[in-house]
Amino acid sequence: MTRRFDERAWLEFVDWCKTRDLRAVPAHPWTMAAFACWCEPRYRPEMIGKLLGGIGRVHATKSRKRPDRHPTVSRTLRMIETRAKRRIHSVELFVDEDFANADISRAKVAAHARKTKGHRRVFRSLSLTPKLVTRRKL
């Protein structure tokens, strides 16, 4: 049963590598990590770990290396498991709320200035324009 599973995992990995013009033997750890990320929407994290283990066993018979044990691959598997636990399917780099905060902070400053007429308090927020710096000659 394990041999059939390993062979099926190996054939799937080889087909995946061929479609992307990557070498299956010797496989680079980055290739194994990319394959794991490709498997993420298709399989559960436990199954991805079993697939990579099977690929590693077959790979060891062909080249005496186990790329599935590389730190890059294990970090990728941990990341996939963490995302599955938290049910995070995609990571957004920029959230719309971050850009809306600049308008909100200006409104807060204006409202605070009206409330505390005599006291000035400065709210600092992220600026959309870079700060100009002058060069001094020594």
- Distance spanning both ends of the chain, measured CA to CA: 76
pLDDT score at 26: 87
Q: Give the predicted TM-score (pTM) of the model.
A: 0.60
Give CA angle at 102 (98, 106), nearest 5°: 150
Q: What is the DSSP letter of 28?
A: P
For domain 2-86, the CATH superfamily is: Tyrosine recombinase, N-terminal domain (1.10.150.130)
* Residue extents of the structural domains in the chain: 2-86
Q: Which residues of the chain carry a pLDDT beneath 70?
A: 1, 88-138
pLDDT score at 66: 87
Burial bucket for residue 40 (CB in 10 Å: 0-12, 13-18, 19+): middle
Average pLDDT, the chain: 78
pLDDT score at 121: 53
pLDDT score at 14: 92
